[in-house]
Amino acid sequence: MFGPSVRLDKALAERLEQAAAARGYATMHEFVRHVLEEAVRDSEETQSEDEVRHRLKGLGYLE
Amino acid sequence: MSASLYLCAHALAYVGPGAGFAFLGSFLVLLVALVLAVLSVLLLPLRIAVAALTGRAGVLGAGGSKRVVIVGLDGLDPGYLRGMMADGTARNLASLAEAGVFSDLRTTCPAISPVAWSSFATGVNPGKHNIFDFLGRDLRTCIPELSSCRIRTARRSGLLRRARAEISLLRGSQPFWKVLGDKGVFSTVLRVPITFPPEKFRGLSLAGMCVPDLRGTQGSFTLYEEAGTRGEAVETREGPEGGSGVCVPVALRNGRMSSRLSGPAVGARAMDAPFSVRLDSDRRGARLRVGGETVRLRVGEYSPWMRVKFRRGLRTAAGICRFLLVSADPVFRLYVTPINIDPERPAMPLSHPPYYSAYLAKLHGPFATLGLAEDTWGLSSGALDDASFLRQTIDIHEERRRMFFDALRRTRRGMCCCVFDMLDRVQHMFYRDMDEEHPAHRPSSGAAGDPVREAYRRADELVGDVMKELRKGDLLVVLSDHGFGTFRCGVNLNRWLEECGWLKTRPDASGEDCLRDVDWERTKAYSFGLAGIYLNRKGRERRGVVDEEEALSLKREIARGLLDLRDAQTNEPVVSRVYDSRETYSGPYRDAGPDLVVGFLRGYRISWETARGRVAGDVLTRNAKPWSGDHCMDPALVPGVLLSNRKLDLTRGTPHIMDIAPTVLGFFGISRPAYMDGLLLAIEEAAA
């Protein structure tokens, strides 16, 4: 509700709505978020292997 | 007697300032309540107008006073249930089946809880919700990671510049209770898997499977053991091998010991909290002191949940845990559950709204918040015996049951849903006792009796009690996400791919996890997790080598090879079907999932080695672990269950777990959203 928001013009928002629906997203917000996540992912730090191991510790399926 | 009480009352009466505060506090609450009530009435016409203008249903929401109750029983197997119905043990479920519907429920591909419950919640296939397994992988590094949420440490700007955790849910699409909320229908959603971190919607939710413990793991127990005995009975591993238990040697002096509980890490060091134990002179019990509280421990009995505050400098974190005095004589052993996040002061968000977990804790007392709360690792490693594991599992079930019935009674209209995990955990750990051919089969479970049957009996009892709470017109849905089968043999897909020449290992390969032994420049296919096989694709994996054209033929070759794979011990096939992602999934996340989902025959599953991204080992390994039942096999062989108190139209064939979302929406008169893959199961009108 109080998070950052991005302003789009109405025509683009409508095109995004249509594109989101055509691709199987539930909402335009999900579509935009996914596209933006993909766009910034390469510039972000990867998790270290130790961090990942630590977080998976205890998962019974991985005894 | 009455005279003395009268005198005492006068003699000792002292009215301090507290009474005044109490009176003012109560008065303020009353005043605020009155103002809110008046405002609510005055604003009613305005709310109706706003609802009409925004397209939302009236003040009661869509469906008026209708109510849906959903009981999720993770792992309820249709075959086993039919047997219990036939012998009269599952009477409540049988009567539900007689009144309404009892059917197999097709599950997702793969048949794994996070995948299936995500399809339940969203009404879509995994290609649209992005959960294909417990594990996903970072395509830049190919290191397997938790598929459902990402926790990143981000730097906060500002004067203090303190690190903070950014937690994001990786499940895509949206749950149907969000759609209900948008139409004004209120929902209470308890412990549905893959709901961490909780999402905002019109209702209440408590997160389930994959909520971490306070240390950030999926559950790490600790065993404090008298020095000099370590390693005699308990196999616990820590560190690179990725085990879940930590064994801490302790020294007893004059029957006393003190040690520290390990909490979340701050930088390189973990926060900790002290505790101490004083054994009784007869060594049958002890006094435990932790977090300013003292409790008595008896051998073989759990303590209540104990609050523990971890500190380091100015930082604090609140956790809860239970202690079990495993033995006191001749060797002192004290088991401590994973440190759960305290629901009253959650270090990470556990509920929506955030205060809901605190409300539940105030109402019912502390409760298990860890996603996979039942300590299967504790049992596997020998830190817990059968009876202690079952006691823990039942206690967690009862906590959830109390929460659920309270929520059900408060939900006069709308939707109330809760997922119970006991059946799943008990079948994972005790299937060996039902399967005489299982490598870990025991002729008798001894004191534990028949834990699987007992778990089904409790599930039946739970449903019976829910049926008593139903009102005329309510829709009750009982469902499971998958069935169960025996897990006798693990298949090391990475080793098999290597033998077939599709996976190459590095010259310095040393049998490590996390796909570290893979030579990516020469590898065409690899596996990790529990679902299947991934191609090392150009443009997707950073060091991908397989192009689109080759991918098609490669998938066909691998599938053929898997279908030809035979168990040398029995000369029987291992795989019943191989599912191509291009035919199985649709949606924006399709390419994130496995390219081939391997549908194993009953008795087989991806091996422990492959699940962890290891290549070394034999292709087929007998599974002699207590974790002896599983469902990570051909989804067609392990369907779930659908039961309802109302007749549902099943003329299209066996329903699918994706059908539940549009069916519930339909019950409230809400159309199925176009993105949903599930289909509406028409509901027969309730008898007048």
Q: Give the 3-state secondary structure of B41-104.
A: HHCHHHHHHHHHHHCCCCCCCCCCCCEEEEEEECCCCHHHHHHHHHCCCCHHHHHHHHHCEEEE
* Alpha carbon distance B418, B530 (integer Å): 25
Interface size A-B, in CB pairs within 8 Å, comes to 111
Query: Nearest CA to CA, how far is A44 from chain B (Å)?
Result: 10
Instruction: Give the pLDDT score at B35.
Output: 76
* Alpha carbon distance A57, B169 (integer Å): 19
Q: What is the mean pLDDT of residues B417-442?
A: 97
CA B616 to chain centre: 30
Backbone angles phi and psi of B671, in degrees to 5 = -65, 150
Point out the least confidently predicted range of A32-36, A37-41, B207-211, B556-560: A37-41
B126 in Cβ contact with B149 (< 8 Å): no
Over chain B, what is the mean pLDDT?
90
**DSSP-derived 3-state class of residue B570:** coil
Mark yes or no for CB contact B219/A58 under 8 Å.
Answer: yes
Residue ranges and CATH numbers for the domains of chain B are 66-152+162-211+348-484+635-688 (3.40.720.10), 218-346 (no CATH), 487-630 (no CATH)
Nearest CB to A56; choose among B200, B242, B608: B242
Instruction: Give the pLDDT score at B447.
Output: 59
Query: Which residues in chain A are closer than 8 Å to B530, comparing Cβ atoms?
Result: 61
Query: If you measure CA to CA, which chain A residue comes closest to B216?
Result: A55
Query: If you measure CA to CA, which chain B residue comes closest to A53?
Result: B242
Instruction: Give the pLDDT score at B261.
Output: 96
Hey, is the C-beta of B612 within 8 angstroms of any chain A C-beta? yes
Hey, is the C-beta of B220 within 8 angstroms of any chain A C-beta? yes
Give yes or no for residue B6 having a pLDDT over 60: no
Query: Nearest CA to CA, how far is A61 from chain B (Å)?
Result: 8
The structure tokens listed for B14 are 């002292």
Cα dist from B79 to B76, B84, B129, B637, B641, whole Å: 9, 9, 29, 11, 9
Beta bridge partners of B587: none
| Stated length of chain B | 688
Query: Which residues in chain A are closer than 8 Å to B172, comparing Cβ atoms?
Result: 25-26, 30, 34
Task: Report chain B's terminal Cα–Cα distance, integer Å.
Answer: 60
* Residue B69 identity (one-letter amino acid): V
Give yes or no for residue B197 having a pLDDT over 50: yes
For residues B257-283, one letter each, b for 16 or more C-beta atoms within 10 angstroms of the residue's C-beta and e for the rest, the string is bebebbbbeeeeeebbbebebbbeeee
Beta bridge partners of B224: B248, B334
Nearest CB to A57; choose among B140, B220, B627: B220
Q: What is the mean pLDDT of residues B233-248?
A: 57
B589 in Cβ contact with B597 (< 8 Å): no
Mark yes or no for CB contact B173/A25 under 8 Å.
Answer: yes
* B27 CB burial (10 A radius; 0-12, 13-18, 19+): exposed
Instruction: Give the pLDDT score at A55.
Output: 83
Q: Which residue of B393, B590, B675, B677 is the best one to mutate when testing the A interface, meaning the one whose CB has the most A CBs within 10 A? A: B675
Instruction: Give the pLDDT score at B462.
Output: 98
* Alpha carbon distance B574, B569 (integer Å): 11
Checking ipTM against 0.90, whether it exceeds it is yes
Give yes or no for residue A15 having a pLDDT over 60: yes
Query: If you measure CA to CA, which chain B residue comes closest to A59?
Result: B218
Give yes or no for residue B19 having a pLDDT over 60: no
